[in-house]
A = this chain, B = another copy of it.
Amino acid sequence: MSKYSRQREMILDALTGNRCHPTADWVYNHLKPDNPALSMGTVYRNLNFLVERGLVRKLSVPGEADRFDGQADTHMHFRCRQCGSLIDLKGEAAEEILDFARRFRDLTGLEMDPAGLVLEGRCEACSGDSPGNCS
């Protein structure tokens, strides 16, 4: 059904060996120098392929390009509207969200999917009095 390709492997590697949450554009520019023939279509096609296979998570950020996460463990994200940083929510924070999801389901009958969840607000650094402390 699906065939091996060097490009797909490189694209996956670029995500798994990376703690940030790259955009398709970042992946493209990251791999382009060593692979001058790489095309943007290939990057998008493979990212979507990997998302479908569950190897990669897609994170939607309003008004910006989608971000992709190659971390295997289930976790959620928080985005600061002020400084734009995307923060991983693991451990206790992740548990808190899962607890909420259960209570929310029992109350409303709505089965929310915590995977791919991106909460939005203001991070600790940006909540301080001093403005501009979050370049």
The residues of A with any CB-CB pair to B shorter than 8 Å are 60, 62-63, 66, 78, 80-81, 87, 89, 92-93, 96-97, 100, 103-104, 107-113, 116-117, 119-124, 127
Residues in chain B near residue A100, CB distance under 8 A: 96-97, 100
Closest B-chain residue to A121, C-beta based?
A: B112
What's the number of copies of this chain in the assembled complex?
2
Chain A contact surface mostly: mixed
Q: Report whether B107 and A87 are in contact in the complex, using a CB–CB cutoff of 8 Å.
A: no
Contact check: which of B63, B108, B122 meets A113 at CB < 8 Å?
B122
Contact across chains for A107 and B93 when beta carbons are under 8 A apart:
yes
Q: Is the CB of A110 within 8 A of B81?
A: no
